Copies of this chain bind each other. A is one copy, B any other.
Amino acid sequence: MTVRIAVAGASGYAGGELLRLLLAHPEVEIGALTAGGNAGTALAEHQPHLLPLADRVLAATTAEVLAGHDVVFLALPHGASAEIAAQLGPDVLVVDCGADHRLESAQDWARWYGGEHAGHWPYGLPELPGGRDALRGATRVAVPGCYPTVSSLALAPAVAAGLVEDEVTVVAASGTSGAGRSSKPHLIGSEVMGSLSAYGVGGAHRHTPEITQNLSKVAGRRVAVSFTPVLAPLPRGILATCTAKLVSAQDPRAVYEKAYADEPFVHLLPEGRWPTTAAVLASNAVQLQVTVDTDLDRLVVVAAIDNLTKGTAGAAVQSMNIALGLPETLGLSTAGVAP
């Protein structure tokens, strides 16, 4: 089986990571590559690391160009996916790396993003309860945000098992690629190197409702999420520290072991070892560890992912594999690049 794919938004970071992974995928043939403002330029100008595609020129992002592929990956700015997707046939698998189809609540969409809600699609986080089933045979997939991926996987077993109170705190430090290939003043190199900074504090980050949605669905009741993102001086990687008050006598480690025993990409570390983002760089793995602060009866879970791989492009490929009935791990690896 050869799957012919197209990538819309191929000049950005998510698009580049998609192509890096798809180049190594044994069942994929890379078709059209499109861009917005960069249409007409060589891919190599934007993705000089993708030598096998150095000769490719970016087309404009239109339905005509994207037609005729089995899978279309959308790596577009928020708000741009729905219109394109509507023009692609219902049999084409459309995998949206943007936010447009992640939130189920139109009210949440209006509050956090503004504008009309495009509806929600099957959610590309198969490790959540029922997540895998929802993706089988799907022709539309909403890839989760990077912070929601790591935070939800870190806390889902605890809320599902009733281990903790319905209010959780997440402080997640991220590399700068999460902000995209953006030239905002606070993202230029001289500013970010050697600096840690907070942003989107006090529930102001758009990923808050997505984490809340995921954990509430898992719990079967509303889980409130205090989420603070931190910008850290590295290109890739998220380390999330998640805490919540324990309300159960169950052994947390046993709960997590059971939850992720059969997951190919989620790895609970042996006791005494802690996650680092370096260990998951460029891999689709999630590394996590759980412990209890016995002085406070508080669960602490720390989890690491690569925001561009498991946090975006890897999840997109994993979801494609599931949707198409391919082996879920095809073209993906749990071996990172270190040091």
Contacts and interface: CB of A to CB of B under 8 A. Distances in A.
Give the number of times this chain occurs in the complex, counting copies: 4
A293 B269 CA distance: 32
A179 B191 CA distance: 12
Contact of A293 (B175, B202, B298): B202
Contacts of A197: 239, 274-278, 304
A337 B295 CA distance: 39
A216 interface: no
Instruction: With a 10 A CB-CB cut-off, give which of A196, A199, A281, A335 has the most chain B CB atoms.
Output: A196
Given A232-B232, A296-B224, A291 B173 contact: no
Interface in A29-79: 44-45, 47-52, 54
Contact of A196 (B190, B199, B232, B289): B232
Contacts of A189: 176, 187-189, 191-193, 233, 235
Contacts of A199: 274
A139 interface: no
A304 B191 CA distance: 15
Nearest to A203: B293
Contact of A275 (B54, B198, B296): B198
Contacts of A233: 189, 193, 232-234
B224 A243 contact: no
A13 B241 CA distance: 28
Given A184-B183, A190-B177, A195 B276 contact: yes
Given A197-B274, A277-B197, A13 B339 contact: yes
A185 interface: yes
A158 B336 CA distance: 37
A84 interface: no
Given A49-B335, A176-B190, A196-B304, 19 more contacts: A13-B190, A24-B335, A51-B267, A54-B267, A169-B169, A169-B298, A173-B232, A175-B190, A189-B193, A193-B193, A194-B235, A194-B339, A197-B304, A198-B239, A201-B241, A201-B302, A228-B300, A228-B302, A233-B233
Interface of A: 13, 16, 19-20, 23-24, 44-45, 47-52, 54, 167, 169, 171, 173, 175-177, 179, 181-185, 187-199, 201-203, 208, 224-226, 228, 230, 232-239, 241, 243, 245, 267, 269-270, 273-283, 285, 287, 289, 291-296, 298, 300, 302, 304, 333-339
Closest 10 CB pairs of A and B: A195-B278, A49-B336, A189-B192, A183-B183, A202-B291, A171-B171, A196-B239, A197-B276, A49-B338, A190-B339
